[in-house]
Amino acid sequence: MAITATRPYVIANERPAGVPGWRTVFGIGLVLWVASVLVTGLTGTLTMIPTVILLGSFLVPVTVVFWYLDHYQSAELSPWRVLTAFLVGGVLGVLAASILEAWLLSDGVLIYLGVGFLEELAKLVALLIVARGMVRHTVRDGIVLGAAVGFGFAALETSGYALGALLVREGTQVRLSLGSLVFTELLRGVLAPVGHGAWTAILGGVLFGASRNGRLRLTASVVGAYVLVSLLHGLWDSMHGIALILATLLTSTPVVRPGLGVIVLPPPPEQLVSTLVTIEIAGLVIVALVGLAVLRWLWSSQPAPQASGSLAVEPP
């Protein structure tokens, strides 16, 4: 029999040369962002606003991508391909989603559900583009590459929301609110790992897992994953409206009035707001936990590949 070395696949916990650790990336980025916010607030310099928006929008998404690179390396998935997925995939996803939403969506009860399906479709197309040229597809590679596309999308989307939060309309006047901008970036930064990043990671893992003979295929499992993440996305975006309806139903008081029948008295504002916030937070937590549970199951469904340099025995 012959003994040959298998193709290198994973070097566990070995960071590629020249790639900083995720703690370094997050620490330096956080210090720079806080310094930018302080300087902008103290000096009122408008030219600092883009720096605050970009640093705050990209800090968490970039950190999470580096976390993946810190904990998982693949011979097929180089750091440069991951970086390309983050930048190019994110931009392509945002462009495609914007065009599709402008063409196909109109105001209505199901608008957020439509947004979920269109944005996940746009990210799927972006993922297929950045995955071109790969000859081997594994579930974990798909998760990492999908997450990179999702976080790139999230970073660019957050920058848009941050700019919108900066401009506060008061009557006919528009003023700049640095506090609103900072709050928006903090909130979306905390939520990014359980939002776009997780949803596209799930889709990427299923897509790569369905590959055969080095070719990505659109199978029933891929369609099912697409529907699942689109529904999670739509529920996430709709949660405030859902919570408002449920809170109103739960806190309103039906009263029987002679000659008028049953009328519903509106709840006290403080009770309505308290119930609304509770239901909305609970709903977001449930959606996030479902996405993370699916992602965890998907990651563990494929055993960790053996380290590079291992030996395989070929039969005679």
pLDDT score recorded for residue 260: 53
Q: Does residue 47 lie in a domain region?
A: no
Helix then strand count (H, E) for the chain reads 10, 6
Which residues touch 161 (CB under 8 Å, ≥6 apart)?
A: 184, 188
Tokens of 88: 């190019």
Q: How confident is the model at residue 200 (pLDDT cuts 50, 70, 90)?
A: very high
Q: Does residue 175 lie in a domain region?
A: yes
Q: Per residue in 120-142, pLDDT tens?
A: 999 999 999 999 888 888 999 99
Asked if the model's pLDDT at residue 302 lies above 80, the reply is no
Q: Does residue 162 lie in a domain region?
A: yes
Cα 94 to Cα 68, 118, 122: the distances in Å are 22, 11, 7
Q: Does residue 60 lie in a domain region?
A: no
Type of residue numbered 271: Q
Task: Name, of 109-123, 217-231, 302-316, the range with top average pLDDT.
Answer: 217-231
pLDDT score recorded for residue 298: 94
Q: Per residue in 266-291, pLDDT tens?
A: 667 777 888 888 999 999 999 999 99
pLDDT score recorded for residue 53: 93
- This prediction's pTM: 0.82
Q: Per residue in 11-33, pLDDT tens?
A: 444 555 666 788 999 999 999 99
Is residue 79 within 8 Å of residue 70, measured between CB atoms?
A: no
Question: Beta-carbon neighbour count of residue 10 at 10 Å?
Answer: 20
Q: Got the DSSP string for 76-104?
A: SS-HHHHHHIIIIIHHHHHHHHHHHHHHH
Asked if the model's pLDDT at residue 107 lies above 70, the reply is no
- According to DSSP, residue 217 is labeled -
pLDDT score recorded for residue 16: 55
pLDDT score recorded for residue 219: 92
Give the rounded percent of residues in the chain with a pLDDT score beyond 90.
39
Asked if the model's pLDDT at residue 314 lies above 50, the reply is no
pLDDT score recorded for residue 141: 93
Q: Does residue 194 lie in a domain region?
A: yes
pLDDT score recorded for residue 139: 92
Q: Does residue 6 lie in a domain region?
A: no
Q: Does residue 64 lie in a domain region?
A: no
Asked if the model's pLDDT at residue 247 lies above 90, the reply is no
User: Could you tell me which residues are beta bridge partners of residue 49?
Assistant: none
Tokens of 65: 């991508």
- Residue-range definition of the domain harbouring residue 116: 76-303
CA angle, residues 117, 72, 208, in degrees to nearest 5: 40
Query: How many folded domains does the chain comprise?
Result: 1
Top pLDDT among 7 and 77 is at 77
Asked if the model's pLDDT at residue 71 lies above 70, the reply is yes
Q: Which residue has the tokens 């993922």?
A: 127
Top pLDDT among 45 and 313 is at 45
Top pLDDT among 260 and 222 is at 222
Is residue 54 within 8 Å of residue 158, measured between CB atoms?
A: no
Q: Per residue in 161-182, pLDDT tens?
A: 898 888 887 777 778 888 999 9
pLDDT score recorded for residue 307: 46
Which residues touch 233 (CB under 8 Å, ≥6 apart)?
A: 115, 116, 117, 119, 120, 195, 199
* Among 50-64, 103-117, 247-261, 277-291, the least confident range: 247-261
* Among 242-246, 302-306, 310-314, the least confident range: 310-314
pLDDT score recorded for residue 113: 86
pLDDT score recorded for residue 206: 95
Q: Which residue has the tokens 């990505």?
A: 216
Type of residue numbered 10: V
Q: Does residue 23 lie in a domain region?
A: no
Q: Per residue in 209-233, pLDDT tens?
A: 998 888 898 899 999 999 999 999 9
